[in-house]
Amino acid sequence: MNNKLIEENLEYVRRMAFKSMKYVPDEKKGMVSSDDLFSAGCVGLIEAAKRYKTGWAAKFTTYAYNWIKGKMIKELIFYIGKDALLINDEELERYASKGFGEANEVLSYPEISSIPEEEQVKIIRRKLKVFGLTDDEMRVFLAINGIGCDKVTNLTALAREIKKREFEIRRIKQRAEEKVKKATS
């Protein structure tokens, strides 16, 4: 693997991640970020660097493009689902087939709604951790939004459940929502 190729093309992957956000409908923008796409794109970049042979007629960026784009599309499908993407099936299949082998692999990749709730909560918790939420903020955010086993109907019930005062829960809720809003805007 050529580490120099990877280092030289990280900014290229970052730009691709930013541009790939156009495939996400406005109402789904909070479910995935350009940082998620950048991480996925880096996996594609590494895969392309492993496979690329110096001396090939194609420039490395030309070769790596579909690997990077394919991994980003796979990430988008995981978070928001194939049917929600603002991309046509022909284009999706092209990226999928060139990006990581068989097109069927990405087209049948599970959407988050098909994953058991316990696994969904783990995925969402990892995402909230990236947004900088503390454990208390995560617990309150998940409970108020009806995610996982800590679902509650009101702040009083949540305060009783986690042994905090109601005004503390309101502050924690507000901080969590501000962090999520800041991270997704």
Of residues 93, 95, 120, the one with CA closest to residue 41: 95
Q: Say how far apart CA 57 and CA 122 lie, in whole Å.
A: 44
Alpha helix (H) residue ranges in 60-107? 60-80, 89-100, 103-107
CA distances from 47 to 3, 14, 16, 76 (A): 11, 16, 16, 19
Using alpha carbons only, what angle is made at residue 104 by residues 101 and 108, rounded to the nearest 5 degrees?
125
Domain regions of the chain by residue span? 3-112, 115-184
Q: What pLDDT score was predicted for residue 152?
A: 62
Q: Say how far apart CA 161 and CA 14 lie, in whole Å.
A: 42
pLDDT above 50 (res 35)? yes
Q: What is the pTM of this model?
A: 0.53
Picking from 14-18, 51-55, 99-103, 154-158, which range would have the lowest pLDDT averaged per residue? 99-103
| Structural contact between residues 45 and 6, judged by C-beta atoms closer than 8 angstroms | yes
pLDDT tens by residue, 77-114: 888 877 777 776 666 666 655 544 333 444 444 555 55
Picking from 4-13, 30-39, 101-110, 131-140, which range would have the lowest pLDDT averaged per residue? 101-110
Region 102-131: what's the mean pLDDT? 63
